[in-house]
Amino acid sequence: MTEVVVTRKGQVTIPVEIRRKFGIEENSKVEIVEQDGMIVIRKSPSIFDLAGSGAGKGNVAELKRMLDQMRDEDA
């Protein structure tokens, strides 16, 4: 556990070891959520983090069917 100080403006500094471990760099976005009575800070995934995450989870025929269905609904 790492202890940090909250500034007058409510800001905290994420220690460098944790930033490196989770790939949090300048201009990275993080989410702050309340979970089970705790405050949780987690890195927001970027589009680059998500690239390829759906690989193998669908097939072309199913995607075409879904696209056709959406087009029919819009017409």
pLDDT digits 0-9 by tens, 34-61: 999 999 999 987 777 777 777 777 788 8
29 part of a folded domain? yes
* SS3 of residue 3 by DSSP: coil
**CB–CB of 20/33 below 8 Å?**
no
Number of domains comprising the chain: 1
Give residue for tokens 């201009």: 27
Q: Give the tens place of pLDDT for each residue, 9-33.
A: 999 999 999 999 999 999 999 999 9
**Helix spans in 1-75 (H):** 16-22, 47-50, 60-74
Q: Is residue 2 part of a domain?
A: no
pLDDT for 52: 72
Domain holding 49, by residue range, is: 16-74
Amino acid at 18: I
User: What is the reported pTM?
Assistant: 0.57
| Paired sense of beta strands 38-43 and 30-35, if any | antiparallel
